[in-house]
């Protein structure tokens, strides 16, 4: 390598640069190599390019071409090595123009939110929370609740049986008996949980759905306690102007039985007030003495009331959603709207 042969000198520089680049153990070493060969003031290849003007007119084109080729090869090698080291080429290795990643924000499912709000209202009214198994026996799901197995509700058409007399509970009412067996009155419980029915999956039915059971058993509990407590619940959940109405109904485990409806008064942004339609929220009633006796309690001494409601339906009406299935499709664009 002599000064009289700048092309040879450039090729030697190229080899040296490529060695330094491929041997660079990290970004810092790579950056040192870049500065040593291509740095604006001290780079050895840059110096050759700067010195082109001092060459003779004969030499200049060939040396210039070779210098540019070496510069391109070394630049490409720097980029390749940098990518291999895991960061883009550039002084800091950071691309500050990239949009940031939005962190995912977790949130409770709208049905879970409804269950929690409802449970918290009853908790404030003195209820505690109870639970029972989702796979239960015919006894707890039907017979203990005064429902003979030839009752239409016990039909295999409606209920998902597992083996023999074991089934997926079709309502949360079995928690009534399971609680009464383990505790003496007074009993005031709320039991939210999944229940299962052989339903087609459509806008208003899902084969698995949430229910919330309520049960009160004590001495001297009357229909007045029943109606007043539910009216108070409705006011706390939907607002102070909410009223309830009871419609006669039938359930094997209550006597008398009722469907409970609520009507809300909505205040529009312009201040005008409007009543909603009656909205059915639960089945309920005074606990049948036969159920109280099945629990081993004296039905002359103890009375009570109970209800079962569907929080998914309540959440659906609250949010103006028209298809239950959207709650279960787990599309984050839909569910994210309710996150809090
Ligand atoms: N278990 C009933 C159902 O799933 C709902 C129900 C009605 C529960 C009346 C009760 C009750 O506790 O008293 O349809």
- Measured in Å, residue 71 CA sits from the centre of ligand 1 at 82
Amino acid 4: pLDDT: 58
> Does 192 share its domain with 319?
yes
> Does 61 share its domain with 125?
no
Alpha-carbon distance of 18 to 74, in angstroms, equals 7
In a domain, residue 205? The reply is yes
Which pLDDT band holds residue 1 (cuts at 50, 70, 90)?
A: very low
What is the number of the ligand 1 atom nearest to the C-alpha of 254? Answer: 13
> Does 13 share its domain with 115?
no
In a domain, residue 1? The reply is no
Amino acid 90: pLDDT: 56
68, 85, 102 - which closes a domain: 85
> Does 145 share its domain with 189?
yes
Residue 83, classified by CB atoms within 10 Å of its CB into exposed (0-12), middle (13-18) or buried (19+), is: exposed
> Does 143 share its domain with 58?
no
- Measured in Å, residue 308 CA sits from the centre of ligand 1 at 4
* Sign of torsion over alpha carbons 31, 32, 33, 34: positive
Residue whose CA is at the smallest distance from ligand 1 atom 2: 308
Residue 219 vs residue 338, higher pLDDT = 219
Structural domains counted in the chain = 2
300-325 pLDDT tens trace? 999 999 999 999 988 888 888 999 99
85, 101, 136 - which closes a domain: 85
In a domain, residue 95? The reply is no
| Ligand 1 site residues, Cβ closer than 6 angstroms | 171, 173, 213, 251, 254, 283-285, 306-308
> Does 249 share its domain with 162?
yes
What is the number of the ligand 1 atom nearest to the C-alpha of 172? Answer: 1
- Measured in Å, residue 298 CA sits from the centre of ligand 1 at 22
In a domain, residue 102? The reply is no
157-210 pLDDT tens trace? 689 999 999 999 999 999 999 999 999 999 999 999 999 999 889 988 899 999
80-122 pLDDT tens trace? 888 888 755 555 667 788 888 877 778 899 999 999 999 999 9
In a domain, residue 105? The reply is no
Spatial contact of 73 and 18, defined as CB atoms under 8 Å apart: yes
250-290 pLDDT tens trace? 999 999 999 999 999 888 889 999 998 999 999 999 999 99
Q: Among candidates 152, 120, 65, 100, which has minimal Cα distance to 311?
A: 120
Residue whose CA is at the smallest distance from ligand 1 atom 7: 283
Which pLDDT band holds residue 2 (cuts at 50, 70, 90)?
A: very low
In a domain, residue 44? The reply is yes
Could you list the residue range(s) of the whole structural domain that residue 59 is in? 6-85
40-71 pLDDT tens trace? 888 999 888 888 888 888 888 989 999 999 99
> Does 114 share its domain with 70?
no
CATH label of the domain that carries residue 210: 3.30.930.10
> Does 126 share its domain with 195?
yes
In a domain, residue 211? The reply is yes
> Does 154 share its domain with 187?
yes
């Amino acid at each position: 390598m002599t000064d009289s042969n700048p092309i040879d000198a450039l090729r030697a520089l190229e080899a040296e640069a490529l060695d330094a680049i491929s041997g660079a153990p990290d970004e810092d070493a790579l950056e040192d190599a870049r500065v040593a060969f291509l740095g604006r003031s001290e780079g050895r290849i840059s110096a050759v390019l700067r010195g082109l003007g001092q060459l003779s007119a004969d030499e200049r084109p060939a040396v210039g071409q070779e210098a540019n080729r070496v510069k391109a090869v070394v630049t490409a090698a720097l980029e390749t090595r940098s990518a291999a080291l895991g960061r883009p080429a550039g002084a800091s290795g950071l691309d500050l123009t990239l949009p940031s990643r939005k962190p995912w924000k977790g949130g409770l499912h709208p049905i879970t939110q409804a269950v929690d709000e409802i449970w918290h209202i009853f908790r404030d009214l003195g209820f505690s929370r109870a639970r029972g198994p989702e796979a239960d026996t015919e006894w707890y799901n039907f017979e203990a609740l005064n429902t003979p197995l030839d009752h239409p509700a016990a039909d295999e058409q409606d209920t998902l049986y597992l083996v023999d007399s074991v089934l997926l509970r079709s309502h949360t009412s079995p928690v009534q008996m399971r609680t009464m067996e383990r505790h003496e009155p007074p009993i005031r419980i709320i039991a939210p949980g999944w229940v299962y029915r052989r339903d087609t999956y459509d806008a208003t039915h899902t084969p698995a759905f949430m229910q919330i059971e309520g049960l009160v058993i004590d001495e001297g509990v009357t229909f007045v306690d029943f109606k007043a407590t539910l009216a108070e619940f409705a006011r706390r959940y939907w607002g102070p102007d909410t009223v309830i109405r009871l419609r006669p109904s039938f359930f094997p485990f209550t006597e008398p039985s009722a469907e409970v409806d609520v009507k809300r008064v909505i205040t529009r942004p312009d201040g005008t007030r409007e009543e909603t339609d009656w909205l059915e929220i639960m089945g309920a009633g005074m606990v049948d003495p036969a159920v109280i006796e099945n629990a081993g309690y004296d039905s002359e001494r103890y009375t009570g009331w109970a209800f079962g409601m569907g929080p998914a339906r309540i959440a659906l009406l609250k949010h103006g959603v028209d298809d239950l299935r959207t709650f279960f499709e787990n599309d984050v664009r839909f569910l994210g709207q309710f996150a809090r």
